[in-house]
Structure 1
Amino acid sequence: MLAAGIVSGFADAPVRRDRAYYESRGEVVWEVPTDEKLIALTFDDGPNARTTPQILDLLQQYEATATFFVVGNRIDRYAELIKREAAEGHEVANHTYNHTFFTGQISADKLAREIESTKSKIEEVAGQSCDWFRPPGGIFNEAVLKAARRSGYTIVLWSWHQDTKDWRSPGIYAIANRVLKHARNGDIVLMHDHVHGSTQTVEALKIILPELKKRGFRLVTVTELMKYRKYAEASPFGSKHDEPPKKDKLLFPTG
């Protein structure tokens, strides 16, 4: 059945605001279509006094850079870690001030405070300005997009097949498998450097980093990855680059 707007001839069909819509407008980034062997590792929710330094050590060891989406209310407490992230070539991006999930009715003022407070802290402590904002849980709507734009941000999420779910502490090999099974050009990987009581992400990186390097991938910040973006024809999944991967054998046992 044709949409009423098309049949009547007096109105446009309603716009389907799905992934393809937002990607085509450049408002939200899930991954970056590119021919270059580049992957962006991203870490949410930090800094963490125990795990963030270990992650930074590993990234340095494997000559990798990453993007850290930090929570604003942790910046003052871990200012030295934020400074280290910036000094070692990583970028410090915005993940709200209180790790607020933007569900239900949230005022425009609260949205602005969550974003702007963290932006100011990052600029003050890291001495850098970053273009990327990631709402907790990847939850956004038009109001969140508007608030992000007003603060000069583009929303960056992650490749659908590269959500490691490390916040659940699923096991070291489960995390490593998730990243390595379908690693491909332009991926944006979601990990966390602050998971209460868990070092599984750190241990998984000891597998992930050398393996990706062995395969010829270069691990870069989101900003660096975006420099190599080429535009692809949209598919029902947003881009042909990120159709759900076929199942295959695990690289490592998960038991």
Structure 2
Amino acid sequence: MKNWKRWTCLLCVIGAGSSFITGFTDRPTVHNRSYYETRGEIVWEVPMEEKLIALTFDDGPHEKETQLILDLLKQYDAKSTFFVVGNRLDRYADIVRREVEEGHEVANHTYNHLLFNRNVSSARILKEIADSEAKIKWVTGQECKWFRPPGGNYSERVVQIAKQAGYTIVLWSWHQDTKDWTSPGVQAIANKVLKNARNGDIVLLHDNIQGSMQTVKALQIILPELKKRGYRMVTISELIQHKPAQPLQSAPHSEF
């Protein structure tokens, strides 16, 4: 009941057009990556001395792919973070519960995988986050305050809505965008991860790519090789618990 009242209040405030969040406009902002990192509002990676790396999976769960990925993660003692789409949890609740039982994180990737562009209202953005949160909590009994907007699309408006809802946006290391959803080939996916692997990386993968098993097959190459190199594959929460060894360099990123 408390959560319902909290979300209802936020929706009403946004709908009334109040100053709930400063700078709430649909205009593109000029803030670069360092601006959001300094404020702790977006995480791309966590540079560190420890050999830790975070594998993340978007868009699931999928009845087959996710199960095969979980089998591989278990085989290589790897933990990961699954950014799930809320409307898929009714069909695959048992898979999501398995993710939690095996030590993985289940994080928020909206309810309908809606791309947040200028035409999407602030109230709709908040509802996408809230509905997914409610479904995740109903299935797992847990809350995870990491949020990844579909497509990595963010703006000052999206960042501040997520922040007011209690979330931190987690994206990925720009050199670790595997583009596996385009089915570029098993070796191409594996090479992207392995040739660019650095301490504190966040890797973008997907566990719901219709008609493709390339990610699963690429993991059969990636996981043993990372382990051989001495990397420990961890959740976003564990990665972020480690203090960066040095400040990040600014990297510009164009926003919609």
Alpha-carbon separation, structure 2, partners of 1:217 and 1:234: 21
Q: For residue 25 of structure 1, what is the aligned residue in structure 2?
A: 39
Alpha-carbon separation, structure 1, partners of 2:207 and 2:224: 19
Cα RMSD of the aligned pairs, angstroms, is: 1.2
Q: 1:63 to 1:117 in 2, by over 3 A?
A: same
**Counterpart pick for 1:142 among 156, 167, 170:** 156
Q: For residue 200 of structure 2, what is the aligned residue in structure 1?
A: 186
The SS at the match of 2:205 is: strand
1:230 paired to 2:241 = no
**Counterpart pick for 1:202 among 205, 216, 229:** 216
The SS at the match of 1:31 is: coil
**Counterpart pick for 1:120 among 121, 127, 134:** 134
**Counterpart pick for 2:232 among 200, 218, 231:** 218
Instruction: Give, in angstroms, the shift of residue 235 of structure 1.
Output: 2.6
Instruction: Give, in angstroms, the shift of residue 234 of structure 1.
Output: 4.2
Q: For residue 3 of structure 1, what is the aligned residue in structure 2?
A: none
Alpha-carbon separation, structure 2, partners of 1:112 and 1:231: 34
The answer on whether the counterparts of 2:49 and 2:245 sit within 8 Å (CA) in structure 1 is no
Identity of aligned pairs, percent?
Answer: 61
Q: Which shows bigger deviation, 226-235 or 115-124?
A: 226-235
Q: Which residue type is aligned with residue 113 of structure 2?
A: H
Q: Computing the radius of gyration over CA atoms, which structure comes out larger, 1 or 2?
A: 1
Q: 1:49 to 1:211 in 2, by over 3 A?
A: same
1:30-57 per-residue CA deviation (whole Å, 9 max, x = no partner) reads 0011111000000000000010000000
Alpha-carbon separation, structure 2, partners of 1:230 and 1:102: 30
Q: Which shows bigger deviation, 222-231 or 168-177?
A: 222-231
1:44-71 per-residue CA deviation (whole Å, 9 max, x = no partner) reads 0000001000000000000000000000
- Aligned positions of 1:99-118 closer than 5 A: 99-118=113-132
The SS at the match of 2:113 is: coil
Instruction: Give, in angstroms, the shift of residue 16 of structure 1.
Output: 4.6
Flag structure 2 segments of 5+ consecutive residues without an equivalent.
Answer: 1-28
Aligned pair count reads 224
State the TM-score, normalized to the length of structure 2.
0.85
1:142-188 per-residue CA deviation (whole Å, 9 max, x = no partner) reads 22112211221100000000000000000000000000001010000
